[in-house]
Amino acid sequence: MVRIAVVVGSTRPGRRSRQVAERVLKHAQEHGGEFGMLDVADFALPLLDEPLPPSLGKYQQDHTKRWAAAVKGFDGFTFVTAEYNHSVPGALKNALDYGYAEWPFAADFQEYTTFTPSEGAEEALQPLLDQVISWSKALQTVRS
């Protein structure tokens, strides 16, 4: 069975994203499938401190090994995060940068230079674009 993680991307004191993520997780579990939660705050990841690039997969810090193992246990991800200054929180970006092989996009680059998307990536693109167009049209009146 496919396992999907709901990722809580904020670590700020007083954050509200955990509450939102718990609600998303509850609804996801009712929808069917196997879902779990990954809370970036639970891993206490300092600013990237691995001596070697994550692409080598030679993690040396215990917190990196725990985070990588947790991420690797899932097949897909839903991110629930705050918006800080019109961007993602630094803690989420840092957590994503800790891994490499755990995120599935590396295989889409032949010899790490030429983009060769997988069949699944290609199939996912049209529904994604359909949704972006649909939501953009629906929100036009709000932007006016």
Could you say which of 3.30.470.20, 3.40.1260.10, 3.40.50.360, 3.90.550.10 is the CATH number of the domain covering 3-104?
3.40.50.360
DSSP H/E element including 126: helix 119-138
Quick: pLDDT tens for 35-89.
Answer: 999 999 999 999 999 999 998 999 999 999 999 999 999 988 999 998 888 899 9
pTM of the entire predicted model: 0.74
Which is nearest to 136 in space by CA: 77, 82, 144, 85? 144
> In this predicted model, what pLDDT tens digit does every residue of 74-94 receive, in sequence order?
988 999 998 888 899 999 999
Distance, C-alpha 120 to centroid of its chain: 18
What are the sequence ranges of the domains in the chain? Answer: 3-104, 115-144
